Amino acid sequence: MEQGSKPHQAERGQKTTLVGIAVNIGLVLVKGTAGLLGNSYALIADAMESATDIVTSVFVWVGLRTAARAPDQNHPYGHGKAEPMAAIVVALALVGAAIVIAVQSIENIQIPHKIPAPFTLAVLAGVVIVKEILFRRISKVGAEVESSAVKADAWHHRSDAITSLTAFVGISIALIGGPGYESADDWAALLASGFIVYNAYHIFRPSFGEIMDETPAGDWQGELTAIALTIPQVKGIDKYRVRKTGFEYFIDLHVKVPGDLTVSQGHAIAHAVKAAILEVKPAVYDVLIHIEPI
């Protein structure tokens, strides 16, 4: 990997996470206050979801800082697993928030209450816009630095936008329908909890795969073969393994060469293949080459 690229990636991820934390603190205050004054549990539930955003974003921030630490004697492969672990914490927190929202929504549906105030719609519209902007910007950074934790943080913002949007629809129905439709925003909060669980799975699945050393997406075999064949006397690859650890990739590669080469020649070819891979794919941290005689 290029010198300094890992700290730069971690720094970008940490900055976007801190921005999200700052925005969420403001939104919790705005949505919670508006929900209490405007008689809307959907808006209060939305504020609760934003509160979990703050907690999980702190976990993401800590995970990114830990993942950026250099390898040491006890962690020769680095600390990159802290990054997908942070994403899994985000997913579990989302499920917890969804359960709380669903239970409280069901209770509120059974209790008569006032129709939400019209001004809550303006608050929700603003929240949806802010959260969608955050999702797009943080998601872009997550894709650029290849961080599952940053991507998870982005999807947490998207789930908040969905919660706000369903609350907007529910309150609109309650206001238009009038008496008898007071619980529409509670039904909206219940529906939003389902979307939140879906987003939690969307976050959990790739992060768990990374923890389990699942082969990353992409045509790694084709790309590694093409790179290896640029080295003289390499006839192809026999086996390969790729795993992602934080911001970096580790590769084990069996390279086919003529069987009559000397040990020194095979050693030189292995180094040449490794250097070529590191040059073409800077996100790769290390390559272990095994020479396989034809």
What are the pLDDT digits (tens) for 48-83?
777 877 887 888 888 888 887 888 888 888 888 888
At 227 the pLDDT is 94
Whether the pLDDT of residue 23 is over 60: the answer is yes
Select from 159, 188, 211 the last residue of a domain: 211
Is this prediction's pTM over 0.85? Answer: no
Do residues 226 and 205 share a domain?
A: no
Whether the pLDDT of residue 165 is over 80: the answer is yes
- Total domains in the chain come to 2
| CATH number for the domain that contains residue 178 | 1.20.1510.10
Beta strands in the chain (DSSP E): 236-245, 248-257, 284-293
Do residues 145 and 17 share a domain?
A: yes
Whether the pLDDT of residue 154 is over 50: the answer is yes
At 171 the pLDDT is 81
Q: What residues make up the domain containing 253?
A: 220-293
CB contact at 8 A, 291 and 266: yes
- Distance of alpha carbon 80 from alpha carbon 230, whole angstroms: 31
Q: How many CB atoms lie within 10 A of CB 215?
A: 13
Report the pLDDT averaged over residues 196-214: 86
**Facing residues of 236 across strands?**
256
Amino acid code (one letter) for 6: K
Q: Compare 289 and 195 and report the one with higher pLDDT.
A: 289
Do residues 17 and 93 share a domain?
A: yes
Whether the pLDDT of residue 4 is over 60: the answer is no
Do residues 175 and 228 share a domain?
A: no
Question: How do beta strands 236-245 and 248-257 pair?
Answer: antiparallel
Do residues 191 and 73 share a domain?
A: yes
The packing angle between helices 82-109 and 148-177, to 10°, is 10
- Distance of alpha carbon 17 from alpha carbon 20, whole angstroms: 5
Do residues 117 and 245 share a domain?
A: no
**Facing residues of 248 across strands?**
245
- Distance of alpha carbon 34 from alpha carbon 1, whole angstroms: 49
Do residues 148 and 40 share a domain?
A: yes
Do residues 235 and 95 share a domain?
A: no
Do residues 44 and 130 share a domain?
A: yes
210-228 pLDDT, tens per residue?
A: 888 888 888 899 999 999 9
Select from 188, 211, 234 the last residue of a domain: 211
Mean pLDDT for the chain? 84
The packing angle between helices 184-211 and 148-177, to 10°, is 170
Select from 185, 211, 237 the last residue of a domain: 211
Do residues 125 and 172 share a domain?
A: yes
**Angle ∠(62,63,69) on CA atoms, nearest 5:** 95
Strand order in the sheet with 236-245: 236-245, 248-257, 284-293
Nearest 10 degrees: CA dihedral of 173, 178, 183, 187? -10
Beta strands in 132-210 (DSSP E): none
DSSP 182: T
Q: Measured between alpha carbons, how far apart are the two ends of the chain, in Å?
A: 31
Question: How do beta strands 284-293 and 248-257 pair?
Answer: parallel
Do residues 205 and 240 share a domain?
A: no
82-102 pLDDT, tens per residue?
A: 888 888 888 888 888 888 888
| 7 confidence band (pLDDT: 50, 70, 90) | low
Do residues 174 and 225 share a domain?
A: no
At 224 the pLDDT is 94
| CATH number for the domain that contains residue 279 | 3.30.70.1350
Q: Compare 139 and 188 and report the one with higher pLDDT.
A: 139
